[in-house]
């Protein structure tokens, strides 16, 4: 494809904007006491938790999208509050990807609603609005996709009007199976238009790598805290079992 498309592949790393916001909030967290660290207290600030989960979800989606062929380009959003974290352009057209990390939660879609553990969300309406905005910008019909990361269940009782809802793991297959409708030149033109808008940036690799390194350290701290909590819980249950066995022996 053209040089424009080749340049567009030098995009921000996955979840750059969301990682940035998570790290900005987390920077004000107090350092944990040794006792809190020992017992595996979660180091994530409550107001950074949703950003942390969002970053994990977007990293997962980025790995899934790597399975797409060379004709596809993924542009990352600059604004962490934007509903569409990714803009994907390829032979089948343009797609906004709203990544939602509902790991181990029940997701139900029907009657133009998306429920998570029985609670209504704005995911469908927000994805539809964002796709219309980008359609106006690019001058082409853009398909909104809501990608659900690692749901416990995903029940599609009825298709949402104009919005594709699917498990994030299905994303690459869904895009690859779509009927081609754009030439290479047309795709390159759309990518250039998206970059000029400023909502998607393609030239901050060094900054991205620094943020990814900081986020990976934070992820390691979170996972380490979880492992310590598991150890303490296992020890507590083992102690309880021993105590019950001792009491049972006394009873007899």
pLDDT tens for the chain, 252 residues long, are 433 334 334 445 666 777 788 888 888 888 888 888 887 888 888 888 888 888 888 888 888 888 888 889 888 776 655 554 689 999 999 999 999 999 899 999 998 999 999 999 999 999 999 999 999 999 999 999 999 999 999 999 988 889 999 999 999 999 999 999 999 999 999 988 887 776 665 444 445 556 677 777 788 888 888 888 888 888 887 776 666 555 555 554
Tokens linked to 55? 């970053």
| Alpha carbons 220 and 56: distance in angstroms, whole number | 12
Could you give the number of structural domains in the chain? 1
The closest alpha carbon to 109, from 96, 98, 120, belongs to: 120
Closest alpha carbon to 62 in 143, 168, 200 = 168
Question: Residue 84 and residue 58: Cα distance in Å, rounded?
Answer: 11
Residue 45, SS3 per DSSP: coil
Q: What is the pTM of this model?
A: 0.70
Q: Domain residues for 245?
A: 3-251
The CA–CA distances, whole Å, from 59 to 9, 85, 154 equal: 16, 11, 20
Distance CA 154, CA 140 (A): 30
| Ramachandran bin of 235, using left for φ above 0, alpha for ψ from -120 to 50, beta for the remaining angles | alpha
- Contact between 184 and 2 under an 8 Å Cβ cutoff? The reply is yes
Q: Look-up: residue for tokens 């600059």?
A: 78
């Amino acid at each position: 494809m053209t040089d424009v498309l080749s340049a567009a592949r030098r995009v921000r790393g996955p979840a750059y904007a969301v990682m940035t916001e998570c790290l900005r909030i987390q920077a004000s967290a107090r350092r944990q006491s040794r006792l809190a660290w020992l017992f595996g207290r979660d180091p994530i600030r409550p107001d950074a938790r949703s950003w942390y989960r969002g970053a994990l979800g977007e990293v997962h989606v980025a790995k899934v999208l790597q399975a797409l062929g060379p004709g596809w380009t993924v542009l990352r959003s600059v604004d962490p509050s934007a509903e569409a974290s990714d803009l994907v352009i390829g032979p089948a057209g343009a797609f906004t990807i709203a990544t939602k990390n509902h790991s181990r939660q029940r997701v139900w879609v029907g009657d133009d609603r998306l429920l998570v553990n029985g609670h209504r969300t704005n995911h469908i309406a927000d994805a539809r609005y964002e796709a219309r905005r980008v359609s106006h910008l690019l001058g082409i019909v853009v398909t909104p996709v809501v990608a659900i990361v690692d749901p416990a269940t995903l029940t599609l009782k009825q298709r949402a009007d104009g919005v594709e809802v699917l498990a994030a793991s299905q994303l690459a297959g869904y895009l690859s199976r779509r009927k081609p409708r754009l030439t290479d030149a047309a795709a390159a033109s759309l990518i250039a238009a998206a970059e000029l808008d400023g909502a998607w940036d393609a030239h901050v690799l060094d900054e991205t790598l620094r943020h990814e390194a900081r986020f990976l350290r934070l992820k390691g701290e979170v996972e380490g805290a979880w492992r310590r909590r598991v150890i303490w819980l296992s020890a507590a249950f083992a102690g309880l079992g021993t105590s019950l066995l001792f009491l049972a022996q006394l009873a007899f």
